[in-house]
Amino acid sequence: MKPRKAVIDTSSLILLDKAGVLEKLSVIFDQIFYPQHVKTEVTRKGKARSTRQKLSSFFSLCKVGDATRVEILKQDNVDPGEAEVIVQATERAISTVIMDDKRAQKKAHRHGLTIYDTKRVMIELDRLGLLPGK
């Protein structure tokens, strides 16, 4: 059974777009959320313009309720976008996050979250025969 919802960070969002599989995530997830900081990072990076344009109704912007928890994670050397991903997932009772940074993954795991890194997403899409050129 596929995880119903996930929260994604900037690097995973951009990498999955570059791999040409962003639209295929709906086969694995019912809905993916991205925090405000992720939106800001994607907007700021000119090379991610195509990624911004693909953020359809399947992807939903979410805002952090507890900024203090984000600050605590940032003080523990977690990137702001990844900190928001972890906080958003816990605030929304979403059990799955998509992120590649090992430090952030450890923090997410400590919060009881299931980690999907880009590699795991690609393996799952390959298993389903959904990778480009397959």
Q: What is the CA radius of gyration of the chain?
A: 14
Among 24, 26, 85, 15, smallest CA distance to 51 is for: 15
Q: Mention every residue, 6+ apart, whose C-beta is less than 8 A from residue 30.
A: 2, 4, 5
Helices (H), 45-117: 49-53, 67-75, 80-91, 102-110
d(CA 1, CA 124): 12
Which pTM value belongs to this model?
0.90
pLDDT at 16 over 60: yes
d(CA 91, CA 57): 21
Domains delineated in the chain: 5-127 (3.40.50.1010)
Phi, psi of 133 (to 5 degrees): 85, 5
For residue range 107-129, list pLDDT tens digits in order.
Answer: 999 999 999 999 999 999 999 99
For residue range 33-67, list pLDDT tens digits in order.
Answer: 999 999 888 877 665 666 766 776 679 999 888 99
